[in-house]
Amino acid sequence: MAEDTSKQGVFSWNELMTRDVAGAKAFYGGLLGWTLEDAPMPEMGMTYTLAKVGDIPVGGIMPMPPEVGPDMPSVWGSYVNVDDVDAAAQKAVELGGTVYKEPTDIPGVGRFCVIGDPQGAVLSLIKFLPMGA
C-alpha cells in the first residue's frame, strides 16, 4: 500500500483476480519472494491473500468474481485514491468513461468502483477507511 493511502490521485494498491489462486500464489511467491497471508473475508464469501514484502503489504490476490463471466482472463488491477468514490465515478462518466463496477463498500477497507476511460483502459478508484476505523 502507498505510504499515504488518503492522498488524492496516488496509485495505492495492486490486485490480481484469478481463477487459480493457488497457482498464482506459487508463481508470484516463488518469482518475487512475496510472503502470502490469507485473510478470510466471510462477508464477501471469499479468502483474500495479502502479498507482502517483509511486513509491508504490496498487493493482493483474490478469486475471480462469478459475475465477470467465464471468458475473462486473470488480470492485475490498479487502484488510485480519490477523495469521493461516488463523485469520481460520476465525473468519469461525464468525461466519456464507463463505470463497470458501481461504487461499493468493502467492509473494513473502504469504498471503491471500477471505471474505464474512453479508450477502454480499466482502473479502480478507492477511498480507504481511516487506519483503525
Structural domain tally of the chain? 1
Residues in CB range of 13: below 8 A, 6 or more apart? 1, 2, 59, 60, 78, 79, 126
Give the predicted TM-score (pTM) of the model: 0.84
Q: Amino acid letter at 107? A: P
| Alpha carbon distances (Å) from 50 to 30, 78, 95, 126 | 15, 15, 34, 17
Interatomic CA distance for residues 47 and 45, integer angstroms: 7
Q: What is the pLDDT of residues 83-113, one digit of tens each?
A: 999 999 999 999 999 999 999 999 989 999 9
| Cβ atoms of 88 and 125 closer than 8 Å | yes
Residue 133 confidence class, pLDDT cut points 50, 70, 90: low
Q: Is 113 within the bounds of a domain?
A: yes
**58 occurs within a structural domain:** yes
Here the cell at position 96 is 466519456
Cα-Cα-Cα-Cα dihedral sign, residues 45, 51, 52, 58: negative
CB 109 within 8 A of CB 128: yes
pLDDT tens digits along 2-56 = 456 678 999 999 999 999 999 999 999 999 999 999 999 988 899 999 999 999 9
CATH code at position 97: 3.10.180.10
Please give the residue range of the domain that contains residue 47. 11-128
